[in-house]
Amino acid sequence: MDISDLDFLESLIPDLSPQKPVFEDKTISSVAKFITSDECRNIFVMLGAGVSTSAGIPDFRSPGTGLYSNLARLNLPYPEAVFEINFFRNNPLPFYSLAKELYPGKFRPTISHSFVKLLADKSLLRMCFTQNIDTLERRAGVPDNKIVEAHGSFATQRCIDCKAPYDGEKIKQAVHEGTIPRCEECGGLVKPDIVFFGEALPDSFIKSVPMLSQADLLIIMGTSLTVHPFASLSYLVPEGCPRVLINLDPAGNLGHHVNDVVLLGKCDDIVRDLCKELGWEDELLDDWEATKDTLEKDETTAAEPSKTAEEEIDELVADVQRALEISDAGEEAEEKKTEEVSKASASTEPRTEESDAATGAGTVEESQSTHGPSGEDRSPPQEETKEVTTKSEEEIVIVEYEAKVTQSTEEDKE
């Protein structure tokens, strides 16, 4: 073994020396100083539901108050079924009842969204990863090429069967009229490009993950970091990269590393205090006021007083309940009609088992073994194999960073 071999082996040993502190202390003032320093040129942002609750949009997972907790009392297989692709295929009405209340145009971006736009204006924002489907980042003015919607959004839509794109104005009209949009090419169901349970994450998310290796600062706002693989992004910045959590509660392993700063409270309040320290408060408020003007000019916006998140949840749950009742009534009517037709056929066309066999009546039973009462296909959807394959591609991207994530987790435990 020569010296070059020793050098190679040494290069494989991770640098376990203490990281150099970036912040003078764990305060908003220190975060502001770092943002304005020459060391901070590439800021990445992660957004969760907490940045949109002040706009009146309910979060999904908060115990007792979140959307899922409230949907649990309804006649659903499980609360998340509204966003499950196979449930949607059989009964899209509950989802579209929710979509009518959550559809873009009804809500105004928050101060936190305007802060992200301000980072972009100052050429500091490298990328904003968001879990939210509400498109408020776009409405706030964050450039499209600076947004990665990890769970998709209402911005685009397509047929779930042939994948043909669908016109945005037409789906907007259907949603507001309470009708189910159908593909003009094949007649299949149309769905906004929101990632449902059982669907692959967008390619844009997979392709953007490696960019995090260039981060000078990671700002995480309004997320509990419990949903993966989105939560794993917080591990994928370089060793020693400063991470700032702005949230009501602690999240993930944030606060365990020397360059972590945890700022607990309402996102909008902390963002406003941070902008005061940066000297950006007037710009922030001007940008936020502009979002109000845009909302008022939006012809799709309902002229009604703003509601709290709790009021929105109550209205959403009531809409889903009505949708379920309509679906149940429709199924009962269909079953009754089928039963009446069967009785009429039995009385007017009596057949022996032998004559049935001779005329091939068994083919009806064979067809029903793969189709439900409404004719929906129960055989495994063709795209399931594709989804599994795509899912493995997602895992490959995350696995590339697995050693780093595992190492960070083990350090936290120590």
Rounded to whole angstroms, how far apart are CA atoms 84 and 285? Answer: 39
Annotated catalytic residue 371: no
Catalytic pick among 151, 228, 256, 257: 151
Q: What is the DSSP letter of 238?
A: P
Spatial contact of 243 and 260, defined as CB atoms under 8 Å apart: yes
- If phi > 0 it is left, if psi is from -120 to 50 it is alpha, else beta; for residue 183 that is beta
Query: Cβ atoms within 10 A of the Cβ of 191, count?
Result: 23
Rounded to whole angstroms, how far apart are CA atoms 223 and 232? Answer: 12
- If phi > 0 it is left, if psi is from -120 to 50 it is alpha, else beta; for residue 23 that is beta
Rounded to whole angstroms, how far apart are CA atoms 157 and 382? Answer: 20
Rounded to whole angstroms, how far apart are CA atoms 325 and 94? Answer: 10
Rounded to whole angstroms, how far apart are CA atoms 139 and 119? Answer: 15
Q: What are phi and psi of 79, to 5 degrees?
A: -55, -40
* Burial letters 208-222, b for 16+ CB under 10 A, else e: bbeebeebbbbbbbb
Spatial contact of 282 and 114, defined as CB atoms under 8 Å apart: no
Rounded to whole angstroms, how far apart are CA atoms 52 and 151? Answer: 15
Active site residues: 151
